[in-house]
Amino acid sequence: MARSRSHRSATKTTRAWYSASSTQSSAAPAGTRSGTGSTADRCRRSTSAPRRERTCSRRWMGPSSASRHSSSADIGSARRSTSSRRTHRRSSSRSHSCARTPGCTSATTSSAGERRWAQSSTSRASRARHSPAIRTTPATTCRSKCAPPPRWRSISGRSLRILFLADVFATAGRRAVEERLPGLREELDVDVCIVNGENAADGAGITGKLADRLLAAGADAITLGNHAFRRDGIGPYLSASQRVVRPANAGSQLPGRGMTVVEARNGVAVAVINLLGQLFVDAAVSPWEMVDQLVDDARSQAPVVVVDFHAEATSEKVAITRWLDGRVTAVIGTHTHVQTNDARILPGGTAAVTDAGMTGPHDSVIGVEAELAIRRMRLRQPVRFQPAEGGVRIEGVVVDCTDAGRAERIELLRVEMI
């Protein structure tokens, strides 16, 4: 009973105080913004009021009927004032954070006690400069023109650098290799270079003459694929060549070799294996039947082993990469002509990428003129494909490894030809 009486007494006191403040605010002098004086008075009185009264005033939901109109005006004015202060704080924090960004300017305007933050085009450009960029070589097209150059020299323990260029397609791809490969070897400080020449002759196969031109441009070894024997006269060349390899599982009776060993610039032996997938590709022998023996033979001759797995299905590429993890230096997928963004180092120390891409015309359908490819797919009519010419780009990967053959780094490579 005592607590109930004291609570009613506190409530009456609070109601009287609220009515008095409301009446005082309604009599504010002219020129004073509505609600400013009354809010200040309430704050001062609230500070000196007993703790119980302040608590009750927060819980109390309305004034007496005599002062309801004036108190409602005070409440609305106080809410507008609070909202204005919050808007000002937000705009101030935005302006402060924007000012810390180099090259960023901001403008603020004031209207009716509220500030509006206007973001200029310079600040938008600044945000674009700070967005993530694709790691590239200096000659590469990237998402941000101000992206920092790649730190190729930051690898600790690196002793061997491997450059792998993806499927060279037709004349445009060959010219790109002949023009840029010598400079790339020097620019990237490459120790050994492997080039897939599967489509060097008009988009299908390779000839001995074209293979010699790729080797003269700076390739240490050339790998092939499902079009290895498309051109007449390539058999004797493959039988005699020590640096051009065809798929090891293409057939034991076919000329050529499926594995070779080349010497890197620093004297380390590098074994190169070429394998053909079995899903959606005509392989005489399953790669799973001979990959273990091939890897054992390669490891007996060289500490560094690179496998070019020319396959259609990404699942098959990922599976064989997992199977070979820890036994080879790198497993590089080719054939689809579309570079995949999954370059990685597996737990066992094997570098892997599902597909290294294509060196050739990218304004096309995987190298072929787009109109011809679309006509064949849409109308199901026989069409003679013609290589495209626009948007030439060099694609591949760069792998850093130790002399023992353990990969430490792999990065995608894209070089736009201008």
As given in the structure block, the two tokens for residue 205 are: 């196969």
164, 81: one domain: no
Burial 110-125 (b: 16+ CB within 10 A, else e): eeeeebebebeeebee
Domain's final residue, options 79, 95, 111: 95
Domain ranges, residue 70: 2-22+34-95
Calpha distance 145→83 (Å, rounded): 42
136 occurs within a structural domain? no
Same domain membership, residue 186 and residue 44: no
What is the mean pLDDT of each successive set of 10 residues along the chain, which is 418 residues long? Answer: 47 43 44 46 48 42 44 50 52 43 40 38 38 40 37 55 96 94 96 96 92 96 93 93 95 92 96 95 90 97 98 95 98 95 97 96 87 88 85 96 96 92
pLDDT score of 364: 86
198 with 356: CB under 8 angstroms?
Answer: no
- Do 313 and 229 lie in one domain? The reply is yes
Q: What is the pLDDT of residue 74?
A: 52
> Is 270 within 8 Å of 302 (Cβ atoms)?
yes
Quick check: helix, strand or coil at residue 183? helix
CATH number at residue 237: 3.60.21.10
User: What is the SS3 assignment for 117-134?
Assistant: EEECHHHHHHHHHCCCCC
Do 188 and 325 sit in the same domain of this protein?
yes
Residues 245 and 360 reside in one and the same domain: yes
Name the domain boundary from 95, 110, 137.
Answer: 95
83 with 161, same domain?
A: no
Is 71 among the domain residues?
A: yes
Same domain as 156, residue 60: no
DSSP secondary structure letters along 338-375: ---S--EE-TTS-EEES---EEEE-SSBTTB-HHHHHH
In a domain, 165, yes or no: yes
What per-residue confidence (pLDDT) applies to 158?
A: 63
If one counts the domains in the chain, the total is 2
Q: What is the pLDDT of residue 141?
A: 40
Based on the residue annotation, tell me whether 310 is a catalytic residue of this protein. Answer: no
DSSP symbol at 159? -
Q: How far apart are CA 49 and CA 168, in angstroms?
A: 85
From 69, 88, 96, 227, the catalytic residue: 227
CA 400 – CA 268 distance, rounded (Å): 13
Are both 74 and 158 inside the same structural domain? Answer: no
Token output for 137: 């070589």
Within-domain flag for 327: yes
Let me know if residue 280 belongs to a domain.
Answer: yes
Quote the pLDDT of residue 371. Answer: 87
Q: Which of 80, 95, 110 is the last residue of a domain?
A: 95
Q: Is 324 exposed, middle or buried (0-12, 13-18, 19+ CB in 10 A)?
A: buried
Please tell me whether residues 78 and 158 are part of one structural domain. Answer: no
